[in-house]
Structure 1
Amino acid sequence: MALRTTPPFRADHVGSLLRPPELLQAREDVAAGRITADELRAREDEAIRAAVRMQEDVGLRSVTDGELRRTSWHMDFIYELDGISTADDKVKVSFHNERGDIEFMAAALHVDGKVGVSKTIFGDAFSFLQGCTSTAVPKLTIPSPSMVHYRGGRAAIDATVYPDIHDFWSDLTAAYREEVRRLGELGCRYLQLDDTSLAYLNDPAQRRYVASIGGDPDQQHVEYIRHINEALQGRPDGMSVTTHMCRGNFRSSWVAEGGYDHVAEALFHELDVDGYFMEWDDERSGGFEPLRLLPKGEKQVVLGLVTTKRGALETKDDLTRRIEQASRYAPLEQLCLSPQCGFSSTVDGNALTYDEQVAKLALIVEVADEVWGR
């Protein structure tokens, strides 16, 4: 089988990595005034260099900075957009795992000004990552425009600023187009838009939530896909764009469940991306049947078969068997392999060790080499 020379790669990963204990300590120290922000930055630099070496050493062909500078996978980006601020109220998000429920009080956001992008968000972070790589393609992960809306819906958008919701979407997608253009100028050739909503909306409970914030529960995913496409219009030549969808990832717990049946047709036929990172690590994700809707051609589906929520290592035989099952619905040459999500979508991280994280990434590379060839 032909070697993939453009992203996504046969063995790939979502992006976030466990924060080293010394980096977590440095965050506490800067908050307490024991070290300066410059000292924290230097320690982040050191941790990112080590993370890049690890990723290249296990054989990955794409590397990220592990999102080690961030507190969360999405809000650090969203709050940097012009016109968006933190709100005094909190949003309660209920996460679940085999031990019970976790109630997470997330910071709310408020669109209280015209949305725009005055500076290249994560531009410095990407340039630093680019300077650390030697054999792999640097990938930048950012939240999709959907995530600005999904947190609070129409109620989070000041009606005096945007009396017409269409003007909000016009400004937001224009800001994203400018961000993507600037990232292209910096040399970004692999961009990932993280979008939990496209997985959440398969869950009837999440569709009821959408209705409660003024959305159309049956068509919200179609609207989001249209706006993502608007955000990517005119993207730089040579830039590969993927999207990652999961059902929640916080301290080894999750929010939503359900197969991809509700969104699959629009997702595969209308979303203008090169690849889809999709989780299939347990029964919450449903079966592979929605892959039958993947158009024959160049688009890739990255099978998230390796869980980041537990440290126990999957077996090569099990992963190979599941890839074979998926290939009954989509051509093997249009499939890749990855973890189902990041290892640390927030600064808290999931319940596994650094060595278990490395072992899972190495296993993905090994299995991909055996299934698709080096």
Structure 2
Amino acid sequence: MPHAGAARAYSTSPTGEFSPATIPTEPIGSIPRPAELLTAMAAHAAGRIGDDELATVQDEAVRDTVRRLEEIGSPVVTDGEQAKPSFATYPLAGLDRLAPDGVVIPFADGHQRQLPRLTAGPLRYGVHAERYLRAALRHATVPVKQAVIAPSALSLLYPQAPLDGYPREAFLDDLTAGAEADIRGCLDAGAHVVQLDFTEARLALKLDPSGGLLEDFIALNNRVLERFSATERARISVHTCPGGDQDSTHSLDVDYVALLPGLMRLKAGAFYVQLASEPDPDKVLGVLADHLPGHARVFIGVTDPIDPCVETPEQVRDRVLTAARHLPVDRLGTCDDCGFAPFADDTSTSRDIAFAKIRARIEGTALAARELTG
């Protein structure tokens, strides 16, 4: 049986029948929201429509996202994060022990995103990602993956000064339990794979070039991953990229090579690694080849969501063939560099361009599979 997330390359037998050769290919997560959903979100924020009406529009956006992904041949789909306010802060919905003046994330073009700051304990997830997964499963006929925020990102909610009656270690205990429940709920609900979004990994080296913050992040994420069996961890993956928001990044200027050896120490079954936007992919692939754990698969990014130009299938094919010079084909997969709209208000990429890029990824991966596997 082919891998559930495989792009199929077909060769014709003398009888005219098709035989598949496969390399796994999967989306990362977010898809730009349709105009109807953006309008409904603004109306809900202004109090002009209620929760039920917003939920109806969100569900229609999920249905359309899944339908379009399936129509272009995506063997694995996501909900497109249509109902998430952002990939990072969805667990905080409904919580009231937060202030808006948390950690600031600066992007290369000058705009910023700011996390909230925890003002009192305990930390509890207000929303679990299982909710989004179940919405997608209602519409999908192929496997569904679910992205969740890595606990390392949420660890930034805790302020530098200790909170009265809620020491940092108690916060980390609660965060670990919440992250485990977030992942386990998706596994139990039938996710094809659960993907930890660890986009703050490369940023950690920008904030702390000594590497200490990155080591703390890796230790915290492994603290959660170690709560799962080896069989369960085979269905848990990690995604890393330099951030992608409003056609800009927050840490593309940080040397990727400094990150990857530590990233590969995470106890996950697969890694989704941004590569299409890297200036020296061979250098990155060499480090991946040296450090990829023996049990893991690596999905390389072959489309760049913040580049307005749509890749051709042939460009994607060539990127896969380059990766295959460094990595065993049976350990190789493809993905997009990152999500297309990780924050709900990001309209820098159109919905149609996102699907065109995804189609190119699927078709280009199939072309590469044909060459690599015959």
Structures share fold, TM-score greater than 0.5 = yes
Q: 1:263 to 1:81 in 2, by over 3 A?
A: farther
Q: Once the 2 structures are TM-superposed, how far is the Cα of residue 195 of structure 1 from its aligned partner?
A: 0.8
Q: Structure 2 stretches of 5 or more lacking a match?
A: 8-22
1:207 aligns with 2:208: yes
1:262 corresponds to which residue? 258
CA 1:139/1:283 → structure 2, altered by over 3 Å: closer, same or farther? closer
Aligned equivalent of 1:141, options 126, 132, 147: 147
Cα distance, 1:364–1:156 mapped onto 2, change above 3 Å:
farther
Per the TM alignment, residue 283 of structure 1 is displaced from its structure 2 partner at its CA by 3.7
1:129-163: CA deviation from partner (whole Å, max 9, x where unpaired): 111111x21111111000012x356517525311x
- Give the counterpart letter for 1:242 in structure 2: S
Q: 1:168–1:317: structure 2 CA closer, same or farther, 3 Å change rule?
A: same
Q: Percent identity?
A: 23
**Counterpart in 2 of 1:232?**
225
Tell me whether 85-94 or 190-199 shows the greater mean CA deviation: 85-94
> Does structure 2 retain, via aligned residues, the 8 Å contact 1:111–1:157?
no
1:95 aligns with 2:107: yes
Q: Which moved more, 1:21-30 or 1:102-111?
A: 102-111
In 2 relative to 1, CA 4–156 (structure 1 residues): closer, same or farther, beyond 3 Å? farther
Which residues of structure 1 form unaligned runs of 5+? 209-216
Paired position in structure 2 for 1:211: none
- Aligned partners of 2:6 and 2:25 also within 8 Å: no
1:55 to 57, 69, 91: 69
After superposing on structure 2, the runs of 4+ consecutive aligned residues of structure 1 that deviate more than 6 Å are: 6-9
Equivalences for residues 1-374 of structure 1 within 5 A: 3-5=2-4, 10-77=24-91, 79-80=92-93, 85-89=97-101, 91-96=103-108, 101-110=109-118, 112-117=120-125, 121-134=128-141, 136-149=142-155, 151=156, 154-155=159-160, 158=163, 160-162=165-167, 165-202=168-205, 205-208=206-209, 217-235=210-228, 237=231, 240-257=235-252, 258-268=254-264, 270-283=265-278, 287-288=283-284, 289-295=286-292, 297-373=294-370
The verdict on how the C-alpha distance between 1:81 and 1:47 changes in structure 2, with shifts beyond 3 A counting, is: closer
TM-score (norm 2): 0.84
| Shift of residue 228, structure 1, vs aligned partner | 1.4
Question: What is the number of residues matched between the two proteins?
Answer: 351
Task: Judge conservation of contact 1:280–1:303 (CA < 8 Å) in 2.
Answer: yes
Q: Deviations over 1:154-190 (max 9, x none)?
A: 517525311xx33432332122223333333323341
TM-score of the pair, normalised by structure 1: 0.84
C-alpha RMSD of the superposition? 2.7
Tell me if structure 2 keeps the 8 A contact 1:206–1:256: no
